[in-house]
Structure 1
Amino acid sequence: MRLALRKIRDGLSTRIGFFTLTLFLFWMKTYIVYNTKFTLGVSDGMQEFLLALNPIPAGLLLFGIALYFRGRKSYWIMIVINLLQSLWLFANILYYREFSDFLSMSIIKSSGSVSNNLSLSISQIIHGTDFLVFLDVIILALLVIFKVIKPDLSPVKIWRPIIITVSSLVLFAINLGLAEKDRSQLLTRTFDNNYIVKYLGLDFFAGYSTYQAHQESATKANASKKDLDEILKKINKNRTSPNIEYYGKAKGKNVFIFHLESFQQFMIDYKVNGEEVTPNINKFYHDSNTLAFDNFFNQVGQGKTSDAETMLENSLYGLPSGSAMTSYGAGNTFQALPAMLDQRGYTTAAFHGDVGSFWNRDNTYKSWGYQYFFSKDYYKSKKDYNIGYGLKDKIFLKQSVKYIEQLPQPFYAKIITLTNHYPYELDKKNQSIAKTTTGDATVDGYVQTARYLDQSFEEFINYLKKAGLYDNSMIVVYGDHYGISNNHKKAIAQLLGKKKVTSYDLAMFQKVPFMIHLNGLKGGINHTYGGEIDVMPTLMDLLGIKDTGTVQLGQDLLSNNRSQTVAFRNGDFVSPVYSKIGSKVYNNNGEVVNSKLTSKESKEVEKQQDEVDSELNMSDKIITGDLLRFYNLEGFKKVDKSQYTYKKSVALKELKEAQKKKKTSLLTKNNGKSTEDMFSTDAPELKEK
């Protein structure tokens, strides 16, 4: 036995022996992580084989670098490379658990704009078992430190590392070939990072996302007007006509965009122990003057809220990785809705209780034509006024009144709430409903923060009524993205009253509320399928802004000749007849029908997929190529960002001057008497002395 152990130790002490051990441990932990920490959707034997294969080419290539060195240095280089690999795995485990996606280079580059206040979220995301990815690194280091493994000091035989390097490249070529055979156009057609990791591995994804980030820069440099002309032909072909019953109904009215953070459609009329979670939002949803859409989907990607805002006000999708606002918000040319309204006499303003740099808003909003941006610097803040990502909604909304009343009318005001944000924690004094009992700590607090948001919404609506703004405003209310990610399947099934959820159920779970309220508007529940990409053209028609040449990819939700195929950022889609999630086609009963489709039906599904792919590609080209710089929209003046400043002292001075020039603000009409006292809140923080 001792002799056998000695032979094993001697074998592992050689550079090739230690290399083989390191590679095996790396492969094993990566494969285990793939199967236990990610949801990659492996559906057959070939995909399972490729999942097991794909860590090996990268491992051979990276650990093989150490074999070009001699002595102890070679061993420690392998350990350090393994440590870096473990850190990469660990970071992706945490990111995937919350966002169901992988860390791209674009996200890493933009981390500075979204990193504040993340410590609480990360503490909630980490599981003890996550740290096991470092176990093999520790073991290998201890083996070398305590000389259980004695480094081979013999000269390097250069042919060995060369063979390993070449082998890694050959093996990767085989991996890529098999992947392309199983999933054609893997790197050119797919919009889902899960596919890349499943087929080619996490290390390849790191390199691929780096290449994508480089290509984005090159794309902008090489773009031309010809690229836009081709896109315009497609957009003009799909342009819809407005619904005359609704066209211009909100012309000249104030516009409020009320942003329900992480709020999903299933919460409408949802009850816990017989008690409505959001009675006030429910009441607004069912109001006779509210148009509510019950098949309205969030279409965000990695950019989450920033993607929702990009679609809402530009009718352009977010990027396949990263955030368009972060990467392109400051430098690109846009034809955003705030700028259009600014040039039609509207005052445009955004309100948010977090720092202005979050998602690069302080730069992007200038490009979009926002005259004012009231961020955290404009608000009074105390320790108990904040939670998670900024001011609690009730405190934020109450303090926003002093700025809303100063805006010359008509105005366009976007109000972004944030208390109903992951990790859905709320101090006890603000809790007014019991948690759900799914057993999932991430999910169970969701109803409590949603209830708080609902109460905040009621207080804001009550203020608008008291101040006289309710009757003279179009109030748009929407949920920006999912609150509960697809990684919480068991909890989602319990919330929905199902034994388990399918991929189709999870696609339907991506619905978010979209409501438009205006006195005199013919309301009701509209069942058309649509998404955030459709908001801008819908609002334009209601505001009476003719859409004859805008570059936007959505369609008016009220139009009678619109498409109802809703694209997701990963290339999947849903529609009233067929939905395609991954490789499966579902009917509207949630049944898989791939094998039941007729030739004609199959062609229709393929046509829908081609439309989705084309739409996403067009959006990516417009943004990454900054193609709107080549386009002069009739009646629209390109935004001059230098005319806007969000520095508090300067902006408030400009706001006072604007009220003198245009005497239509609520404060001016009230002869200088503030309406702040009309905002009534039960926020306990404001009652405490």
Structure 2
Amino acid sequence: MSNHKSRIRNFLNTKFGFFLLVLFLFWMKTYYIYRTDFTLGVKGSVQQFLLFVNPLPAGLLLLGIALYFRGRLSYWLMILIDALDSIWIFANILYYREFSDFLSMSIIKGSGDVQNNLGKSLAQIIHPTDFIAFLDVIILILLFVFRIVKIDHRPFKIRNAFVISALSFILMFAEFGMANANRSGLLTRTFDNNYIVKYLGLNEYAAFDAYQTQKESATRSEAKPKDIQNVLKYINANRSKPNIQYYGKAKGKNVFIIHLESFQQFLIDYKVDGKEVTPNLNRFYHNQHTISFDNFYHQVAQGKTSDAEMMLENSLFGLQQGSAMETYGTQNTYQAAPAMLDQHGYTTAAFHGDVPSFWNRDNTYKSWGYQYFFDSNYYKIKPSYNVGYGLKDKIFLRDTAQYLQRLPQPFYAKFITLTNHYPYEIGKEDSNFPATKTGDNTVDPYVKTANYLDQAFGEFMNYLNKSGLSKNSMIVLYGDHYGISNNHRPAIAQLLHKKNIDSYDLAQFQKVPFMIHYNHAKGGINHTYGGEIDVLPTIMHLLGMKDNNTVQFGNDLLSKHRNQIVPFRNGDFVSPEYIVMGSNVYLTKNGKQITPNAQQKKQIDSMQSHVYKELSMSDHVILGDLLRFYTPKGFKKVNKKDYNYKYNYGMASLNKLDQENHSSLEAKNHNRSTLGLYKTNAPELK
């Protein structure tokens, strides 16, 4: 036994022996994290095998770099490379936990996303077991500290180091061959990063993402005017005609877009301890003059809120990696709702109680043609007024009224609420609503902040009704994305009152509210299947504005004959017949998982082809900036230099417009303020 230990120790005291030890520890650690921290949907023996071996080729390649160096430097390089890779793994564990995705170059370059999404709540996100990512590094350092391993100063032959590097590439190509055989077109038509990590590995994903980022940056310079013609041909072939029952029924009305942060459909009519979480929104949802949609899905990826805004106001999908608003919001040409409505006589304004630079809004909104952007610089800020990401909703909406009453009518106004944002922080003085009792500290406060948002919305609606604004307005509400990620499955099962949940349940959990209200609207619950990509054409048709020449990938939700395939950003989709989540197929009507027969497979393949084509074409429009080559009839291109959102400039412009145009609420109220009509129980304002 002692001879056996001695041989092992002697072997570890060689450079090659130490290299194999580092490689083995790295391999086992990575595989363990794959299994415990990521939900990769591994199925079948081939996928199980590939998941097990995929840390090996990258480990050989990266750690093998150290073998080209001599002495102590070689050893410390192995540990340094392992430590850097451990930081990468650790960062992805944290990001994946809340966003069900992996870090990308776009997200890292726009570091504000990561900082704002994670920085304020790291203490809640980190689990003690996450530090297993550094366990092998600690073990290796201790081996040196206690002199269990000694430095082998003998040179390692360069040709042997080269053989190890060559072996890593051979294994990578072999792995890719097996992966591509199991899933055809892995790197050419995959929109889900989980597939790349599952088949190839986290480091290979990073390399592929870097390649994709470089490729995206080259797409714009290579784009040609003829490219937009292919897009127009596709869109015109798939465009839905307006429903004459609704077309133009809201013509000339003000448009309110109320962004319900992180708000999911299951909250509508949901109760905790017998109490309605959202009584005001429930009444609005069921109002006889509200058109409500119960099969409406968010379609965002890493861009979260920014993706939702991109779809809402452009009918273009966000990107699979990063945020289109942040990366392409400044330089690209758009034909967005604010610009279109401005050119039809509307005043356009966005309201947000956060810094203007978040998600690059201050630049993107200029590209979209917003005349005004009332950001945090327009609001009185006190520490007690803020929670999480900015102004509390009650204070934000109350203080917004001072600007709203002065906007010339008709106006298009978007309000981005914030309080119902992860990590769902709320003080006892703001909400005494009971938390859920799933035992998940991330999930349980969610209903408390949702209830606070509901109260703020109720106060805002009371003001609109009392001031008379609601009489000549179309009020649109939408949830931007999920509030509870799929990584909280046990808690989700409890919220849905189920013992277990599957991919079908998780797909249904991606529903968010969408409601349209105006006086005399023929309301009710509409069961059509749609998503955020469909909002813009729906609104434009209600306002009596045809979209025959626009580049919009969505379809009017009120159209009688429309395509009801709802693409998710990762390539999965929902339709009235089937729900496809990865390799799982379900019947939509009953949630039964099926193995498609020949006829069903043909239908599903056709739907999947439609999804891939639509996502790819939308990406090409954004990455290639194709709208610079096309101006619809009657539309004038936006000149970003025409807009300035600085406080002094914005107020001077508003004062001038208010004097020239006497159509504002305040002007119609004989130049008297209506703020006295706004009632709020926000404790900070008492």
Could you say what secondary structure the match of 1:430 adopts? coil
Which stretch of the first structure deviates more once superposed, 233-242 or 116-125?
116-125
Separation in structure 2 between the aligned mates of residue 284 and residue 569 of structure 1, nearest angstrom: 30
Structure 1 equivalent of residue 18 of structure 2: 18
Q: Which residue does the alignment assign to 2:644? A: 645
Contact kept, 8 Å, 1:432 with 1:451, in 2: the verdict is no
Q: Deviations over 1:332-387 (max 9, x none)?
A: 00000111001111110001111111111011010011011111111111111111
The alpha-carbon deviation at position 37 of structure 1 amounts to: 0.4
1:539–1:279 Cα change, 3 Å: same
- Long gaps (5+) in structure 2: none
1:260 corresponds in structure 2 to 260
What code does the residue aligned with 2:502 have? T
| Distance in 2 separating the partners of 1:420 and 1:392 | 9
Q: Cα offset for 1:489?
A: 0.8
1-side partners of 2:647 and 2:578: how far apart? 51
Q: Find the aligned partners of 2:122 and 2:401 in 1 and give their Cα distance.
A: 33
Q: 1:487 maps to which residue?
A: 487
Q: Alignment partner of 1:429: what SS? A: coil
Q: CA deviation at 1:117?
A: 7.4
Per the alignment, residue 663 of structure 1 pairs with 662
Q: How far apart, in 1, do the equivalents of 2:669 and 2:528 lie?
A: 42
Deviation at 1:273, TM superposition (A): 1.5
Q: Secondary structure at the match of 2:553?
A: coil
2:400 counterpart residue number: 400
Q: How does 1:30-49 map to 2 (within 5 A)?
A: 30-49=30-49
Corresponding residue for residue 422 of structure 2: 422
Alignment of 1:152-231 (within 5 A): 152-231=152-231
Conserved in 2, the CA contact under 8 Å of 1:354 and 1:391? yes
CA contact (8 A) 2:107 2:113 kept: no
1:504–1:590 CA contact under 8 A, matched in 2: no
**1:575-609 deviation per Cα after TM superposition (whole angstroms, max 9, x unaligned):** 111111111211124445543x4422221111111
- Superposition RMSD in Å: 1.1
Aligned partners of 2:26, 2:275: CA distance in 1, in Å?
Answer: 51
2: CA distance, partners of 1:420 / 1:545: 33
Label 1:575 to 1:178 Cα distance change in 2 as closer, same or farther (>3 A). same
Look up the equivalent residue of 1:599 and give its one-letter code: A
- C-alpha distance in 1 between matches for 2:364 and 2:379: 21
Share of identical aligned residues, percent? 63
Matched-pair contact (CA < 8 Å) for 1:113–1:357: no
Counterpart residue number, 1:626: 625
**Cα deviations by residue, 1:2-51 (Å, 9 ceiling, x for unpaired):** 54433322211211111000000000110000000000001111101000
1:113/1:326 contact within 8 Å kept: no
CA contact (8 A) 2:576 2:589 kept: no
Query: 1:440-477 CA deviation, whole Å, 9 max, x = no partner?
Result: 11110011000000000000000111111011100000
* CA deviation profile, 1:300-351 (whole Å, cap 9, x unmatched): 1110000000000000000011100011000000000111001111110001
Contact 2:587 2:594 in 1 (8 A): no
Distance, in Å, in 2 between the alignment partners of 1:7 and 1:599 is 60
Q: Secondary structure at the match of 2:579?
A: strand
Q: Is the Cα contact below 8 Å between 1:584 and 1:592 reproduced in 2?
A: no
Cross-structure match for 1:579: 579
Distance in 1 between the 2:206 and 2:504 partners? 29
Distance (Å, rounded) in 1 between the aligned partners of 2:461 and 2:65: 64
Tell me the distance in 2 between the aligned counterparts of 1:520 and 1:341. Answer: 23
Are the counterparts in 1 of residues 350 and 370 from structure 2 also a CA contact under 8 Å? yes
Name the residue aligned to 2:679: 680
* Alignment-derived partner of residue 149 in structure 2: 149
* SS of residue in 2 equivalent to 1:556: coil
Q: Deviations over 1:481-505 (max 9, x none)?
A: 0111111111111111111111011
Q: Deviations over 1:57-98 (max 9, x none)?
A: 000000000000010000000000000010000000000000
CA contact 1:535–1:554 (8 Å) conserved in 2: yes
Distance 1:61 1:617 in 2: 33
Q: How many angstroms does 1:568 deviate by? A: 0.4
Q: Is the contact made by 1:269 and 1:277 (CA closer than 8 Å) also made in structure 2?
A: yes
Q: In the alignment, what sits opposite 1:500?
A: 500
* CA distance in structure 2 between the aligned counterparts of 1:170 and 1:252, rounded to whole angstroms: 65
Partner of 2:277: 277
- Cα distance in 1 between the residues matched to 2:369 and 2:253: 19
1:519 counterpart residue number: 519
Pairing of 1:112-123 with structure 2 (within 5 A): 112=112, 115-116=115-116, 118-123=118-123
**Contact 2:101/2:302 (8 A) holds in 1:** yes
SS across alignment from 1:553? coil
Contact in 2 for aligned 1:297/1:531 (Cα 8 Å): yes
For residues 385 and 254 of structure 1, do their structure 2 counterparts lie closer, same or farther at Cα, with a shift above 3 Å needed?
Answer: same
Please, which moves more after superposition, 109-118 or 598-607? 109-118
- Post-superposition offset of 1:673: 1.6
Using the TM superposition, give the Cα deviation of residue 156 of structure 1 relative to its aligned residue in structure 2, in angstroms.
Answer: 2.8
* Offset from partner CA, 1:371-404 (integer Å, 9 cap, x none): 1111111111111111111110001111111111
Kindly indicate whether residue 84 of structure 2 is the aligned counterpart of residue 74 of structure 1.
Answer: no
**What TM-score results when the alignment is normalised by the length of structure 2?**
0.99
Cα distance in 1 between the residues matched to 2:647 and 2:615: 38
Could you say what secondary structure the match of 1:442 adopts?
A: coil
* C-alpha contact (below 8 Å) 2:277/2:450 kept by paired residues: yes
- Does structure 2 conserve the Cα–Cα contact (< 8 Å) formed by 1:289 and 1:524? yes
Matched, 1:359 2:359: yes
Q: Would you say the 8 A contact 2:89–2:133 is kept in 1?
A: yes
Do the aligned residues in 2 keep the contact of 1:505 with 1:590 (CA within 8 Å)? no
Q: Deviations over 1:283-316 (max 9, x none)?
A: 0000001000000000011100000000000000
Aligned residues: 686
Whether 2:468 is the aligned partner of 1:468: answer: yes
Supply the AA of the counterpart residue of 1:41: G
Shift of 1:406: 1.2
Determine helix, strand or coil for the equivalent of 1:150. coil
Q: CA deviation at 1:264?
A: 0.5
Distance in 2 of aligned mates of 1:2 and 1:608: 65
- AA paired with 1:277? V
User: Is the Cα–Cα contact under 8 Å of residues 108 and 114 in structure 2 kept in the other structure?
Assistant: no
Query: What does 1:566-605 align with in structure 2 at a 5 Å threshold?
Result: 566-595=566-595, 597-605=596-604
Are the aligned partners of 1:68 and 1:158 in contact in 2 as well (CA < 8 Å)? yes
Q: Which amino acid aligns with 1:609?
A: Q
CA distance in 2 between counterparts of 1:438 and 1:108 reads: 33
Cα separation, 2, equivalents of 1:124 and 1:280: 30
Aligned-partner residue type, residue 9 of structure 1 = R
Q: CA deviation at 1:189?
A: 0.8
Equivalent residue, structure 1, for 2:304: 304
> 1:618 & 1:653 partners in 2: Cα distance?
42
Q: Residues of 1 paired with 2:473 and 2:312: CA distance? A: 18
Against the structure 1 CA distance between its residues 126 and 113, is the aligned structure 2 distance closer, same or farther, given a 3 Å change threshold?
closer
Matched letter for residue 264 of structure 1: Q
Tell me, yes or no, if the aligned pair for 2:95 and 2:118 is still in contact at 8 Å: no
Name the SS for the 1:428 alignment partner. coil
Residue identity opposite 2:634 in structure 1: G
Q: Is the 8 A contact 1:113 1:360 kept in 2?
A: no
Give CA-to-partner distance per residue, 1:637-685, whole Å, 9 cap, x none.
Answer: 0100000011111111011111112111112222332111211100011
Q: State the alpha-carbon separation in 2 of the partners of residues 432 and 244 from structure 1.
A: 46
Could you tell me how far apart the structure 2 residues matched to 1:271 and 1:421 are?
20
Counterpart code for 2:521:
L
The 5 Å alignment of 1:276-355 reads 276-355=276-355
